[in-house]
Chains A and B, each alone.
Chain A
Amino acid sequence: EAGVVQSPRYKIIEKKQPVAFWCNPISGHNTLYWYLQNLGQGPELLIRYENEEAVDDSQLPKDRFSAERLKGVDSTLKIQPAELGDSAVYLCASSHRDSGLNEQFFGPGTRLTVL
């Protein structure tokens, strides 16, 4: 079974530039998550999708961050414009609706560096 796929794996941009990350979850997983992991901290949830609906985006900085999951499968996370403080690892995860204990499967992440 293929795991969660993310691209790109690494991205270096200058501040004020836009950037986008892509995630393909495990086939059949209806729930998709985007996490932000700053150095020395644990991952923090940015947004959770149930199929194509964003059910928890309370931690997403909506002035510069946006996300979409138009067909309930792949998802993109965008930052525009990027700031120096956005340098971090962006993780995508997915889970199946029948996972009562919310077992999430993670992708390898995108490491973003903003110069």
Chain B
Amino acid sequence: ILNVEQSPQSLHVQEGDSTNFTCSFPSSNFYALHWYRWETAKSPEALFVMTLNGDEKKKGRISATLNTKEGYSYLYIKGSQPEDSATYLCALTDSWGKLQFGAGTQVVVTP
């Protein structure tokens, strides 16, 4: 079982502020890392799949970086909006294709 940890567990952000949070994982035998956004009462939505050390991905105001050597990924939200309120999950894929999820970071953006 891969130990995937996310921090913080939750955070409150003022609308317009930027924020970031972390996903940590074992650096050995890395295969791929996924970020999902899960809004209340909706399906978890895939944001990024990252495989290479130093990878940076961007989707609108959301971006992510990956450091496989030290075992962490950051997710950034620039200029947070109320619609960014969600739980952000990261998950590691092993070579068998199995996803191991972290507990998520719950983001609440207040107007």
Contact = CB atoms under 8 A, between A and B. Distances in A.
Contacts of A42: 4, 89, 91, 101-104
B43 interface: yes
Interface of A: 3-4, 9, 40-45, 48, 56, 91, 101-109
A109 B97 contact: no
Contacts, number: 49
A101 B51 contact: yes
Contacts of A108: 41-43
Nearest to A48: B98
B99 interface: yes
B106 to A, nearest CB: 9
B98 A56 contact: yes
B13 interface: no
Interface string B37-67: 0000111111001010000000000000000
Contact of B98 (A40, A45, A103, A106): A45
Interface of B: 4, 9, 32, 34, 36, 41-46, 49, 51, 89, 91, 93, 97-99, 101-104
Of the listed residues A43, A44, A91, A105, the one surrounded by the most CB atoms of chain B closer than 10 A to its CB is A43
A3 B43 contact: yes
Given A101-B51, A102-B32, A91 B98 contact: no
A40 B43 contact: no
Nearest to B36: A106
Contacts of B102: 42
A48 B93 CA distance: 14
A42 to B, nearest CB: 3
A105 B46 contact: yes
11 contacts: A42-B89, A42-B102, A42-B104, A101-B32, A101-B34, A101-B93, A102-B98, A103-B34, A104-B46, A106-B44, A106-B45
A9 B93 CA distance: 27
Given A42-B89, A102-B97, A107-B43, 18 more contacts: A3-B43, A4-B43, A40-B9, A40-B103, A42-B4, A42-B101, A42-B104, A43-B89, A43-B99, A43-B101, A44-B101, A45-B98, A48-B98, A101-B32, A101-B34, A105-B46, A108-B41, A109-B43
